[in-house]
Amino acid sequence: MNKRLFLQSGLACAMAPAAHQLAWAADPWGASQGYPAGWGPVGQLPRWEAYPEYRAGNFSGGFEKMFQHRTVRAGPVTSPLVESPTQVRYRWGLSRRSADDYMDQWPVTSLLIARDGRILHEGYRMQRSPAMRMTSWSMAKSVTSLLMGIAIDQGLVAGVDVLPQAHVPSLQGSLHGEVAIRHLLNMSSGADVLHERDPARIDVPAILGDPRSRTVGTDLERVVRLWNHRLEAAGTRFNYNELCPLTLGMVIRGASGLSLAEFAERHLWQPMGAQADATWLTDARGKEYNCVGFAATTRDWARLGQLVAQEGRMGERQVVSARWIQDCASWGPQDEQVAWGRARADTGYKNFFWHPRRDAQWMVMNGHLGQRVIIDRASRTVMIQTAASHEGPWLKEFYALFEAAIQT
């Protein structure tokens, strides 16, 4: 996530579309090539997101051909999402725009707005379709949060003050084995790790592999186990990184005796009533890279948002406790470092959810390059966006559209 997007001015947002349309006309997303998928052009360094013309294809199924992955199967019962087309219009500068106008201005691949099982708006661009699984990037962290809540609800994990090494013997005595779950959920482990500095030390050995032999020999648990330099005491400071969710993935696997995909399938995906299978990318040892790499259809991302909006309940079933959802939207004395205005100047964080409002009424699953699920808890409105880029100050317009959707 580019955190500076939160700080862009409204004037810059109003001016951005014209510049963006010029870039769009230059075909940066690979339309003329049929939106290819894969590691990149022949003869170039194989990358997983650096070639813009490969993003639409890779972010909607291409990754599944590039990486090992596990399937999270949908069950026989699907929670209803009924099409109820409604014109959602919002004011932007001196004009009034529609949800379709928004999609035409920015590199959005899908946009869905729903409330209480009704789809108010659904649209796709770049030849994407409702049947395609859209990748999460870091929205997978929020999925991990829901799984941790379920593990605690079921008594598999005693609570957020438990140490990971209690469930993962291989972490005994390591830095991440000795950090309470609450501090991992709040990205406050105290480890010397920087999100911007350390992808080569985390992504490459954990999921990508050497450029000459991508995905070969990767081992995410080894990366977590050997990361042992401490910068500060746990709980001191918000420090967004991939090691915290990876550690909690190990805890859920250790506590449940299941892969994350199996645990999610049994206790989240099927109980929620997902319509289609999801997938989760893994390392070479079959362990889910749960800081990213979860993929689901846009409609099933909407169901996940609806589950949160409904305090963990879907139909007659309490999938994750209301207490966990409420905990994800509140701050106690041990969470002060991630409270609104502390995690970021105008943003809060809790249990792998972002909070752009001080009152925590909005909860956001946030992913790299424009992947978003935003939830208004009061109206139970959810909006899902998948995208090929977050370049440009589009975020204020995203919020303006969501405000209008809430009032529609």
Integer Cα distance of 368 and 374 in angstroms: 14
Query: Is residue 66 within 8 Å of residue 38, measured between CB atoms?
Result: yes
DSSP assignments along 145-201, one per residue:
HHHHHHHHHTTSS--TT--GGGT-GGGTTSTGGGS-HHHHHTT---BS--TTT-HHH
- Output the CA angle 270-272-275, nearest 5 degrees: 70
Angle between helices 10-25 and 395-407 (to 10 degrees): 110
The structural domains of the chain, with segments of one domain joined by +, span 51-407
pTM of the model: 0.93
Q: What is the dihedral of CA 300, 305, 307, 310, to 10 degrees?
A: -140
Fold of the domain spanning 51-407: Beta-lactamase (3.40.710)
pLDDT by 10s per residue, the chain, length 408: 433 333 333 333 333 444 444 444 478 999 999 999 999 999 999 999 999 999 999 999 999 999 999 999 999 999 999 999 999 999 999 999 999 999 999 999 999 999 999 999 999 999 999 999 999 999 999 999 999 999 999 999 999 999 999 999 999 999 999 999 999 999 999 999 999 999 999 999 999 999 999 999 999 999 999 999 999 999 999 999 999 999 999 999 999 999 999 999 999 999 999 999 999 999 999 999 999 999 999 999 999 999 999 999 999 999 999 999 999 999 999 999 999 999 999 999 999 999 999 999 999 999 999 999 999 999 999 999 999 999 888 899 999 999 999 999
Nearest to 377 by CA among 315, 318, 328: 328
| Paired residues of 69 in beta bridges | 281
Q: Which two tokens stand for residue 120?
A: 């108010």
Integer Cα distance of 327 and 312 in angstroms: 12
Nearest to 117 by CA among 381, 375, 403: 381
Q: Going by DSSP bridges, is the β-strand pair 95-98/381-387 parallel, antiparallel, or unpaired?
A: unpaired
